[in-house]
Amino acid sequence: MNVCKHPSIVQLFEMILEPNNNMLVTEYLSGGDLFTHVKNFDGLTEIEAKGLFRSAVLATRVCHTRGISHRDIKLDNLLLTSDRKSVKL
């Protein structure tokens, strides 16, 4: 996560490694996940979907150019910023 700096990628602040636990301290995204948003608001408009999809694709491209694969891209793993107008991987 530290290697991929992009506005649509969750920022990692710290990693805490313990014998039985690993913890990641990331930025706080209060918008929730995209799956819950779509379910609660009866979908997205075409314009909203286009913008969110574009953000996700651009973030994925940044990861791929650095040889990193997400391997679990789904609506549950796309987090929304507080304004719910942009998505982060």
Which residues carry out catalysis?
72
Decide the pairing of beta strands 87-88 and 79-80. antiparallel
SS3 77: helix
Tokens of 53: 């999809």
